[in-house]
Amino acid sequence: MSTAIVGWSHLPFGKHENETVESLIVKATNAALEHAGIEAADVDEIVLGHFNAGFSPQDFTAALVLQANPDLRFKPATRIENACATGSAAIHQAIKSIDARKARIVLVVGVEKMTSTPGLEIGRNLLRASYLQEEGDVEGGFAGLFGKIAGAYFQKHGDQSDALARIASKNHKNGASNPLAQMQKDLGYDFCRQESEKNPFVAGPLKRTDCSLVSDGAAALVIADVETALAMRRAIAFRSVAHVQDFLPMSRRDILKFDGCALAWQKVLSEAGISLDDLSFVETHDCFTIAELIEYEAMGLVPEGQGARAINEGWTEIGGRLPVNASGGLKAKGHPIGATGVSMHAVSAMQLCGEMPAPIQIKDARLAGIFNMGGAAVANYASILERIK
């Protein structure tokens, strides 16, 4: 363990008409510095996670972090992007700088402002994270891609509509108790299971409740070397991290296996010297409910093709064998692309410090597992967090 989270901030996700990319960055930055108990001058480096892809007219956004405090002027600042795993990519860059002893304290900010973009344009922007040469004409954008994945999974392993509805209702139930979540409403299993005017089919077998939310939001972390962290208010250590990049074209891999996800989990657990059973909870990338289902299999919770068992038998509920997405996940919490990975680490740190609201606080949480995915299992990032102070 060489690095640790010593402070964080997490703005509520949702539709924020009066916010800009800049204002979200500034608010998240100042809140994280205050939470860490440090001054802006103490920061050695800044890493911004911002996907953009057309969502914001303002590009070249790394330097916007300096708007938060004049003492950030002249600090190295870099923007990192890796599709929906952009936030975790920024975190990994911070860890590398600290491990290389180029920095002692790094500020990581993740941000996206999506809701001011028209719906069709949102779809086109997100589809840029696919292999356009083969997948660019898929109807429905990324929902269409995951609709195809769901359809293929159903064809191979049987209709999983019940399991997908249970995943959606689980995450919405959890999100209802999370004040940071975009949708704080327990929709219930029946609503998620049945097609209706308010819950129509979107792509293939996926309904609206199977899809994550278009969001505005920002989150930030202050990361330090462990020696520095142990002298501060709190220290949530990175026990291990892993990054596995797979082929971009879905045609070059078995898309139902999420091989990159599986390998990332194998690596991160091995490096941490633990097994999946040692984890207190997992925050995983449920951009669509079918993704969470397949990720149950990729993480090794159940064998291939048996993802439904984990949700049907209550394993991934709070109080179950391995609670998954107690925060509400992307499904209820929201999915502002560049902020998502940072958010997943922030809410996991909150869990380990016992700071989540009672209904979604994991009892005696000790080890957190995080999986953040870019594209259709292309950029695969995993982390194990452990509180050491």
Q: In a 10 Å sphere around its CB, with 0-12 CB exposed, 13-18 middle and 19+ buried, how is residue 280 labelled?
A: buried
Q: In a 10 Å sphere around its CB, with 0-12 CB exposed, 13-18 middle and 19+ buried, how is residue 320 labelled?
A: middle
Work out the number of other CB atoms within 10 angstroms of the CB of residue 243. 19
Q: In a 10 Å sphere around its CB, with 0-12 CB exposed, 13-18 middle and 19+ buried, how is residue 117 labelled?
A: middle
d(C-alpha 68, C-alpha 82), whole Å = 24
Which CATH fold topology does 3-117+214-229 show? Peroxisomal Thiolase; Chain A, domain 1 (3.40.47)
Backbone phi and psi for residue 194, each to the nearest 5 degrees, phi listed first = -95, 135
What is the spatial order of strands in the sheet that 77-80 belongs to? 77-80, 45-49, 105-113, 216-225, 3-10, 236-245, 379-387, 367-374, 281-283
- Helices assigned H by DSSP within 110-232: 119-127, 132-135, 141-157, 161-175, 189-193, 226-229
Backbone phi and psi for residue 344, each to the nearest 5 degrees, phi listed first = -60, -40
User: What pLDDT is recorded for position 1?
Assistant: 83
Q: Which two tokens stand for residue 209?
A: 């409740």
By C-alpha distance, which of 140, 87, 44, 143 is closest to 379? 87
By C-alpha distance, which of 306, 377, 312, 313 is closest to 158? 306
Q: Which sequence spans correspond to the domains of the chain?
A: 3-117+214-229
- CA dihedral over 168, 172, 178, 179, signed as positive or negative: positive
By C-alpha distance, which of 234, 250, 271 is closest to 349? 234
SS3 state at 214: coil
User: What pLDDT is recorded for position 139?
Assistant: 85
Work out the number of other CB atoms within 10 angstroms of the CB of residue 322. 18
Tokens 């409403």 belong to: 185
User: What pLDDT is recorded for position 119?
Assistant: 86
Burial call 19-47: b when 16+ CB within 10 Å, e when fewer:
bbbbbbbbbbbebbbebbebebebbbbbb
Residue type, 136: G
- Helices assigned H by DSSP within 194-300: 226-229, 259-272, 289-298
What's the DSSP call for residue 76? Answer: -
The structure's pTM equals 0.98
CB of 217 closer than 8 Å to CB of 353: no
By C-alpha distance, which of 339, 345, 103 is closest to 224? 103
Could you list the pLDDT tens digit for every one of the 389 residues in the chain? 899 999 999 999 999 999 999 999 999 999 999 999 999 999 999 999 999 998 999 999 999 999 999 999 999 999 999 999 999 999 999 999 999 999 999 999 999 999 999 988 998 899 989 999 999 988 888 999 999 999 999 999 999 999 999 999 999 999 999 999 999 999 999 999 999 999 999 999 999 999 999 999 999 999 999 999 999 999 999 999 999 999 999 999 999 999 999 999 999 999 999 999 999 999 999 999 999 999 999 999 999 999 999 999 999 999 999 999 999 999 999 999 999 999 999 999 999 999 999 999 999 999 999 999 999 999 999 999 999 99
